[in-house]
C-alpha cells in the first residue's frame, strides 16, 4: 500500500512538472515578486541604478531587475500619468546610452499603453553585447528587466527573449 501511494505521488510530481513547466525561483525586490524560471543565482547589485543581477548557468542568461519609485527621478512630475512618466523614462534612458559616440544601437520594439510597458533593444557594438529591456509600470513602481543572452553557440531568438521578459513581468 505504501509503495503504491509513493508511485502515485511520484507520478503526480512528474506529471505536474511536465505539464506546468520547470520550477521557478522567487525573488522579492523592493516588495515586488519575480519568479524566474529554472535555477538562478544572485550575482550582485549595482547600487547607483538599484539593479539586482542574476545568472542562469544552464540557460546561459543574465538578467538585471530593478524596482524604483518614479519620484526619485529628476524629471518626475506628479501631474504626469504613469504612461507619460514611462515615455519620459524611456527617452531619458536612451539619451544616456546614445552619448556613447555612435557605439550604441537602440531599437524600440514594442509599446503597450494599456499594460504600460515598453520593450527595447540595446546593443553595445564594440563589445558585441545585446540586451533586451522591458520597462514598465506595475503597482505604481518603475520595473526594469534587462536580459542578456550569453549563449554564443545557440542564442535564443528575438521572440523567445521578448516572451521571456513578458513572462517574468506578468508572472506567467
Model confidence at 15: pLDDT above 90: no
pLDDT (average), residues 51-67? 96
Q: Per the CATH hierarchy, to which homologous superfamily does domain 23-169 belong?
A: Mog1/PsbP, alpha/beta/alpha sandwich (3.40.1000.10)
Higher per-residue pLDDT: 158 or 172:
158
- Alpha-carbon distances, residue 117 vs 4, 83, 104, 142 (angstroms): 50, 8, 22, 10
- Alpha-carbon distances, residue 131 vs 56, 140, 145 (angstroms): 15, 25, 10
Residue 22's pLDDT is 66
Give the confidence band of 33 by pLDDT, cuts at 50, 70, 90.
very high
Give the start-to-end residue ranges of the domains of the chain: 23-169
Percent of the residues in the chain that have a pLDDT greater than 70, as a whole number? 86
pLDDT in tens, 114-134: 999 999 999 998 888 999 999
Model confidence at 7: pLDDT above 70: no
SS (HEC) of 93-153: HHHHHHCCCCCEEEEEEEEECCCCEEEEEEEEHHHCEEEEEEEEEECCEEEEEEEEECCCC
| Beta-carbon contacts of residue 86 (< 8 Å; ≥ 6 apart) | 116, 117, 118, 135, 136, 137, 142
Amino acid at each position: 500500500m505504501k509503495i503504491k501511494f509513493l508511485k502515485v505521488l511520484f507520478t503526480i510530481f512528474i506529471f505536474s512538472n511536465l505539464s506546468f513547466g520547470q520550477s521557478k525561483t522567487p525573488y522579492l525586490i523592493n516588495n515586488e515578486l519575480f519568479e524566474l524560471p529554472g535555477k538562478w543565482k544572485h550575482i550582485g547589485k549595482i547600487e547607483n541604478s538599484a539593479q539586482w543581477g542574476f545568472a542562469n548557468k544552464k540557460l546561459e542568461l543574465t538578467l538585471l531587475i530593478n524596482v524604483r519609485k518614479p519620484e526619485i527621478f529628476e524629471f518626475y512630475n506628479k501631474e504626469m500619468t504613469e504612461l507619460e512618466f514611462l515615455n519620459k523614462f524611456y527617452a531619458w534612458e536612451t539619451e544616456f546610452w546614445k552619448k556613447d559616440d555612435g557605439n550604441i544601437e537602440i531599437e524600440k520594439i514594442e509599446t503597450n499603453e494599456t499594460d504600460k510597458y515598453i520593450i527595447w533593444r540595446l546593443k553595445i557594438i564594440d563589445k558585441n553585447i545585446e540586451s533586451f529591456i522591458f520597462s514598465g509600470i506595475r503597482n505604481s513602481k518603475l520595473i526594469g528587466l534587462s536580459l542578456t543572452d550569453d549563449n554564443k553557440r545557440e542564442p535564443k531568438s528575438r521572440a523567445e527573449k521578448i516572451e521571456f521578459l513578458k513572462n517574468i513581468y506578468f508572472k506567467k
